[in-house]
Amino acid sequence: MNLVLFEPGELPGVLDRRESRAVHLLEILKLVPGDRFLAGEVDGKKGSAALLSVGASTVELGEQEFTEQAPPLLDIRLLIGTPRPPTARRLLKDLTTLGACELHFMATDLGDKSYLQSNLWKGEWRAALKEGAAQNRSTRLPRVERHERLGSFLKLIPPGRLVCFQEQGLSWNSFHPVLLQQGPLWLAVGPERGWSEKESLQFETFGWSLASLGKSILRTETACCLALGIAALGQVKPHDPA
C-alpha cells in the first residue's frame, strides 16, 4: 500500500484498528501519533494526512493536506471475457495499477455466465480497484461495467483503434502503428478458452483487428496485463474524463 486511499468525507475520521488501512499504518509503517503518511481521496487530490491518536480499538486520522493532482489514466479500455471471480479480482487490481481508464467484463460463449453474478460484484470489486490505485500512488479509479451480450455492446463502440486478441490473429507487432493514432484504444481479451468463432466474426464485423500475443497459451490475467503493458508503451494521449 504505497498510498492510503479514503472515500470523500472519510477524513477527518476514525478507523477500526482491525481495518486494513489501520493495520498498514500501525503494523507496517509503525506510525505513532503525530506522524504523517501519504494519502489521497478517491478520484481527487493526494498529499498527506496525520495519525492523531491510537486507542484500544480505533485510530483517529485527520489534518489532511491534499494538494497534488494524480496523473490522468491512460486512454485505454479493456473488454474482457469474464474469468473466474478470483481471477477477475486480480485483474481489477492489476489493470488499475497499470492505468486503464475503463474495464468492461463480458459474458462469453465459452465462459461461465454465472461469473458475472458472483459476490465479487456486490462491493468487493471496488475495494480491488482502490488496492490497485494505492499500489500506483494514484487516486484515480477506472470505470467498470458488466455486459451480457457481446454484439449489443460492440454496436455502441465507435470506429477507431480496436484490437481483439486471439490465437489465430496476426502478430501484435503488425498493429504497433495503431498505438500512435488518435482516439481511445480498445483491447479485447477473451477468457482462457478464448473467443468462440461466432464472437470472432462479430469483432471482425464491427471493424476490430485480430491480433496475437504469441504462441504461448496465457492465463487471462497474464494476457490482459501483457496487452495493456505493450499498449501503454505506445500510448501518447492520456484519458480525458471530460
| The pLDDT of residue 211 | 85
The helix-helix angle for 85-97 and 124-135 (nearest 10°) equals 30
| The pLDDT of residue 168 | 72
Query: Could you read off the pLDDT tens digit of each residue along the chain, which spans 242 residues?
Result: 899 999 999 999 999 999 999 999 999 999 999 999 999 999 999 999 999 999 999 999 999 999 999 999 999 999 999 999 999 999 999 999 999 999 999 999 988 889 999 999 998 999 999 999 999 999 999 999 999 999 999 999 998 889 998 877 767 666 666 666 677 899 999 988 889 999 999 999 999 988 888 777 788 999 999 989 888 876 544 566 65
| The pLDDT of residue 236 | 43
Give me the residue spans of the domains in the chain. 4-69, 76-233
- Could you tell me which residues come within 8 angstroms of residue 18 by beta carbon, excluding any fewer than 6 positions away? none
The answer to whether residues 92 and 129 touch, using CB atoms and an 8 Å cutoff, is yes
Residue 137, burial from CB neighbour count under 10 angstroms (0-12, 13-18, 19+): middle
**CA-closest candidate to residue 77, choices 57, 99, 58, 94:** 99
CATH architecture of 4-69: Beta Barrel (2.40)
Residue 99, burial from CB neighbour count under 10 angstroms (0-12, 13-18, 19+): buried
Q: How far apart are CA 47 and CA 2, in angstroms?
A: 12
| The pLDDT of residue 180 | 61
The answer to whether residues 136 and 142 touch, using CB atoms and an 8 Å cutoff, is no
| The pLDDT of residue 141 | 97
Rounded to the nearest 10 degrees, how much is the dihedral formed by the CA atoms of 158, 163, 167, 170?
Answer: 120
β-bridge mates for residue 36, sequence order: 50
The answer to whether residues 211 and 169 touch, using CB atoms and an 8 Å cutoff, is yes
Q: Write the CA distances from 44 to 40, 116, 194, integer angstroms.
A: 7, 29, 37
CA 138 to chain centroid, in Å, comes to 12
Q: Which CATH class is domain 76-233?
A: alpha beta
